[in-house]
Amino acid sequence: MAPYFSRIHTFPRCSKKAAADSLFQACIQREKPGTSIRKMAERMQPTSAFAAKAVRNPLPYTVFDLGDSINRMELNYFPVPVAADSTLLFTGKNDTRSPYDENLFFSRMKKGGSWTAPQLLPGRVNTTSNEGAVAIRGDGRYLVFAGCDRPEGRGSCDLYGSVWTARGWSEPFSLGDSINTPQWETQPTLSSDGRTLLFVRAPERDKANSTIFICTQRPDGSWSRAKPLPGPVNTPYNDLCPRLHADGNTLYWAETHTGRVFQLAITAPGETAPFSPIDPSVCLCGLPGVQLFDSLAVDGDGNVCVATLGLQTAGITVISPKGEVLEQIITGDPLTTNICFGGPDFKTAYITLSGTGRLVSMPWPYKGLKLNF
């Protein structure tokens, strides 16, 4: 890879995209078909052309930093709104000062749009180990989160549940062996009624090869055995951050390294529609060139809003239910990783800028998301 791709960084910033395109073309011409480096070049070359076009035609946007009142930790990420009120849950962590472990925090919006200082979730959820990547049911009374490095854990990270009580969140309980394994389980998402759970699992030694799983809650509160989503949902690449449409009938997921968003109909709890691996309708949208996808959320118009990683096109890519790229909202942070909605009428987007470890907000140009609960 070095003879081609290490040279990209030697070009001036203004010509990187054009330089990348020519280098990818040279690689395609010189490498034998089927080699890993040629496959990479064939996948990334169209992206560089798209990125150059997007930079030449920027779209207007307004991003508001949520301010130091909420961004008190060195790293603030995985924001999740609580539908019942103007509360934001998120994960916070420090790298250079105490506390060093990941914890779950909440902050409430005050009149005028400012935020209260973040506080640890009340109750028994947080420990001296790591807690992060939280999902919450539509009524705000049941949550699932990733608990890592716990003595009773099966893998480095497992999924735990907690219910709201008069004294705060209850003592966390493992979701059980039907979900947790010696592997790495994280990034949960719940349907608005809390009966369907999707999450990411990856081998302990290869977390760049993650797979999306699904399971359903039984009447007694236990969970069915998790199974990987079928076919094109899971790929040889890194499949991350599943999200359900507000109607509970459509599953969207992002494939990081190919820069694609996929969709599949949910026909019953824990069941998806049959499909053909060559069915083009399964792929909602793909971006050309070096544009990687991370976490996503669905807004009230059904648009899929995907955090997009890159050098000059990093931000949020808004994709219509028909697969059209409506716009790319540039944040300026190459590690834009998460988005969720909250605030009055859910017309505010909260975005994680992981490059600087900050949460920012902006008015969203589409109608707010209302959960189906």
Domain extent for 37: 2-56
What's the mean per-residue pLDDT of the chain? 82
CATH number at residue 357: 2.120.10.30
Number of structural domains (the chain) is 2
* 173 compared with 44, residue with greater pLDDT: 173
Secondary structure (DSSP) of 161-181: EEEEETTEEPPPEE--TTT--
C-alpha of 280 from chain center: 23
Of 12, 35, 56, which residue is a domain's last? Answer: 56
Task: Say yes or no: 278 and 341 in one domain.
Answer: yes
Contact of 345 with 353, CB cutoff 8 Å? no
Domain annotation covers residue 194:
yes
Q: What is the pTM of this model?
A: 0.60
Q: What is the mean pLDDT of residues 246-267?
A: 81
* 42 compared with 87, residue with greater pLDDT: 87
Q: What is the mean pLDDT of residues 100-107?
A: 90
Contact of 17 with 48, CB cutoff 8 Å? yes
Task: Say yes or no: 231 and 299 in one domain.
Answer: yes
Domain annotation covers residue 140:
yes
- At 55, phi and psi to the nearest 5? -65, -35
Task: Say yes or no: 169 and 300 in one domain.
Answer: yes
Q: What is the mean pLDDT of residues 60-84?
A: 81
Q: Please report, rounded to a whole number, the percentage of residues in the chain having pLDDT higher than 90.
A: 28
Domain annotation covers residue 371:
no
Task: Say yes or no: 51 and 6 in one domain.
Answer: yes
Token readout for 77 is 């990420």
pLDDT digits (tens, 9 = 90+) for 280-316: 677 888 887 778 899 998 887 788 999 999 877 789 9
What pLDDT, on a 0 to 100 scale, did the predictor assign at position 302?
Answer: 82
Domain annotation covers residue 51:
yes
Sign of CA dihedral 98, 100, 101, 105: positive
**Distance in angstroms (rounded) separating the CA atoms of residues 104 and 120:** 6
Those residues whose C-beta lies under 8 Å from the C-beta of residue 229, and which sit 6 or more positions away, are 198, 212, 213, 214, 242, 251, 253, 264, 272
What confidence category does residue 16 fall into, taking pLDDT thresholds of 50, 70 and 90?
very low
pLDDT digits (tens, 9 = 90+) for 181-233: 999 999 999 987 788 899 999 987 666 678 999 999 888 888 999 999 876 67
Task: Say yes or no: 36 and 70 in one domain.
Answer: no
Token readout for 31 is 């490498």
What pLDDT, on a 0 to 100 scale, did the predictor assign at position 112?
Answer: 78
Q: What angle do CA 344, 350, 354 make, to 5 degrees?
A: 170
Task: Say yes or no: 114 and 172 in one domain.
Answer: yes
Domain annotation covers residue 127:
yes
Task: Say yes or no: 165 and 214 in one domain.
Answer: yes
Q: What is the mean pLDDT of residues 114-134?
A: 91
pLDDT digits (tens, 9 = 90+) for 308-335: 998 777 899 999 888 888 888 888 899 9
Task: Say yes or no: 68 and 31 in one domain.
Answer: no
What pLDDT, on a 0 to 100 scale, did the predictor assign at position 273?
Answer: 77
Task: Say yes or no: 52 and 69 in one domain.
Answer: no
Contact of 307 with 295, CB cutoff 8 Å? yes
Task: Say yes or no: 23 and 159 in one domain.
Answer: no
Task: Say yes or no: 69 and 46 in one domain.
Answer: no
What is the number of alpha carbons within 13 Å of residue 92 lying toward its C-beta? 22
Q: Is 57 helix (H, G, I), strand (E, B) or coil?
A: coil
Task: Say yes or no: 99 and 45 in one domain.
Answer: no
- At 194, phi and psi to the nearest 5? 75, 10
Highest mean pLDDT among 31-35, 119-123, 264-268 belongs to 119-123
